[in-house]
Amino acid sequence: IVTVDGESVIGKTFDEVLLLVRGPEGSVVVIEVAREGEEAYLPFTITRARFEVPVTEAEMLPGNIAYIRLLEFNQVATERMLADLDELLAQNPDGLILDLRNNPGGFLNQAVSIADIFLPTSVVLIERNNQGLDDTFRVDDGDVGESIPMVVLVNQASASAAEIVAGALRDNGRAILIGETTFGKGSVQQVHTLSNGAELRVTIARWYTPANVSISQEGITPDIEVEAPADIVFGSDNDAPLQRAVDYLLNGE
């Protein structure tokens, strides 16, 4: 991008360009783009619209297996999860795969509420501060996803809130984990802004699974380890962890 509504953006920061591009929904912005091999700038007239990044992906797989992939634990994660789950459960699936691969985490309250969907009365996690004092997060039964057989897919990029949910479901005997050892981000940090503008992050607590296993650094090792191919495409025929999860739900091993 070289201009926005006729104003050059050369030398501007990303945030400065973003302010120029953003505007009221339904309004029009004209951007010019420099493209290799083209002498003149290419103009594009764009009508501004609200863009919502998907949080979940859901479908029925062969074998009557329900599949939900959760991309992150943002503010609407539980709402989207429940909506997808209601649609899938209406089709009477024989099992459910919850895919938390490449999920970087997000809000703690969303992790707890999503775990609550699938757990009866249980401990979800233990938060232990630097003085050794514990804050235990519990959930109650009565939710729609508590009885369907489950597998949770994880990999090296499953972190933070994703590890909380995976650990809670596994430790409570609600699901098995398939895939790769998770990232290992189980710390609670406070951010302090210094006088020079730099940030100092101080770890004030750590997360533990219901079985009192620390999530930090070492991550969570799955029950069934399946190495993903380097060229993996999630949901495709070369998605070995997903195929293993389907096999487990169909055959029980």
Is 147 a known active-site residue? no
**Beta partners for 96?**
66, 150
Is 216 a known active-site residue? no
Task: Give the whole-angstrom CA distance, residue 36 versus residue 29.
Answer: 23
SS3 content of the chain, % helix, strand, coil (to 5): 20, 30, 45
Is 185 a known active-site residue? yes
Task: Give the whole-angstrom CA distance, residue 140 versus residue 138.
Answer: 7
> Which of 84, 99, 116, 171 is flagged as catalytic?
171
Cβ atoms 30, 9 nearer than 8 A: no
Cβ atoms 185, 154 nearer than 8 A: no
- Token readout for 214 is 């620390």
Burial 51-60 (b: 16+ CB within 10 A, else e): eeeebbebee
- Token readout for 93 is 């699936």
Task: Give the whole-angstrom CA distance, residue 62 versus residue 186.
Answer: 35
Cβ atoms 121, 93 nearer than 8 A: no
> Which of 99, 122, 158, 185 is flagged as catalytic?
185
First to last CA, the chain: 53
Query: How many C-beta atoms lie closer than 10 Å to residue 104's C-beta?
Result: 15
Closest CA to 29 of 9, 49, 5, 50: 5
Residues taking part in catalysis: 160, 171, 185
